[in-house]
Amino acid sequence: MMRLLRPILSLVLVLVTTLLVSCSSPTQAKIPTVYTPEKIAQLQPYREPIALARKNMATLKEFIDAENWVNIRTFIHGPLGGLRQEIASTSNKLLKKDQPVAENLGKELFKHFEIIDVAAKDRNASLVKEQYNEAIKDFDAYLNLIPTA
């Protein structure tokens, strides 16, 4: 009798264990909704080159005011040329809720740079100035998304 009960009991235990495991739900990892001090510290190295590029926009403004078309285009492709990668990397490090906004602001910023480039080629001072002002607004909005320590 005991010989017969062991395999049946083993089978029942296997079935119960399988049922419990299959019916349990995995715990979902919580997506953070606020920046922790650790996350803010982690973002600072990403923020620095973008903040420096924003500061250097004053140089672009000088070229625009002087209608120095060659230097305007050179500045956009030179010192601001690596900014697209910096912004993309930084956007990916932000909280999930801020990523779409950051990506959109980055795209808008580079649209303004592209228009400035074409307008400078065409020597269209009013369009260059207008797009520069729009770029500054998007630049500042982007930097405001990145928390500071």
**C-alpha to C-alpha distance for 65 and 114, rounded to whole angstroms:** 18
pLDDT of residue 145: 95
pTM of the full structure: 0.76
Please compute, for residue 54, the number of CA atoms within 13 A of its CA located in the half-sphere on the CB side. Answer: 20
Domain chopping of the chain, boundaries: 33-145
**pLDDT surpassing 90 at residue 95:** yes
Dihedral angle sign, alpha carbons of residues 128, 144, 49, 51: positive
Q: Are 147 and 35 in contact (CB under 8 A)?
A: yes
Average pLDDT of the residues in 60-79: 96
Class of the CATH domain delimited by 33-145: mainly alpha
**pLDDT surpassing 70 at residue 26:** no
Q: How confident is the model at residue 90 (pLDDT cuts 50, 70, 90)?
A: very high
Average pLDDT of the residues in 79-104: 94
Q: How confident is the model at residue 125 (pLDDT cuts 50, 70, 90)?
A: very high
